[in-house]
Amino acid sequence: MIRIFTIAAALALPLAAQAQTTYRCTSKDGKKYYGSTIPMQCAGMPVEQLSAQGSVIRRIDPEGDEKAKAEKEAAEAKKREEDIATREETRRSRALLATYTSERDIEDSRHRALADNQKAVDEVQGKIDAIRKRKAGYQKELEFYKGKEAPARLTADITNADIDLKAQEELMAAKKKEVAAINTRYDEDRRRYVELTKGKK
């Protein structure tokens, strides 16, 4: 009977010690606060959990927990972004290998793209020449009315010709810039193709 009581008492000791747990914190004004539960003055502050003997059992740091949580969330977000980028790179690599069977294919595609661009440039240049010719005719007609009021139709034709000419010249500039973009794209395709097929030939 005595032995059973001793065992029961021994089992009760940790519970008793746990019941005597104390919480302690130091506030911003430097004062220390204690309590069997976390004192109100400790809200948002680092708190120490003390044993019945006064030793620190564990430390609770709300700011540290929040910081760790934020860092974990940031790391997870970065990992998701990296996974998306990896999948996209894999998709692009597969598409590249499905599009080209050799470096020659890439150069042939480059040639076709540049030829199509040049065809568009030639077409735009033809429109520019036609507009300039039309405008020259309007200007010649305008000389007939020198010193007199020109017809509204004629001034409107000249204005519209100027608008059309500006639009075509801007289109021409854009088409010429596309040459560099086309070469850059196919240079990158060739670089990646060589990288992906390295050692497979």
55-63 own/partner pairs: CB under 8 Å, 24+ apart:
57/21
Domain containing residue 51? 2-60
At 147, the pLDDT band (50, 70, 90 cuts) reads confident
Are 93 and 117 in the same domain?
Answer: no
Are 146 and 115 in the same domain?
Answer: yes
Are 15 and 56 in the same domain?
Answer: yes
Question: Would the CA dihedral through 138, 139, 143, 147 be positive or negative?
Answer: positive
What are 50-67's pLDDT values in tens digits?
787 778 888 887 777 677
Amino acid code (one letter) for 69: K
Are 109 and 188 in the same domain?
Answer: yes
Are 119 and 47 in the same domain?
Answer: no
H-helix segments, the chain: 2-19, 62-99, 103-144, 152-197
**Does residue 120 contact residue 129 with C-beta atoms inside 8 Å?**
no
What are 175-197's pLDDT values in tens digits?
999 999 999 999 999 999 999 99
Domain finish residue from 99, 128, 157: 99
Residue 121 has, within 13 A of its CA and on its CB side, a CA count of 13
What are 62-84's pLDDT values in tens digits?
777 677 777 888 888 888 988 99
Are 44 and 82 in the same domain?
Answer: no
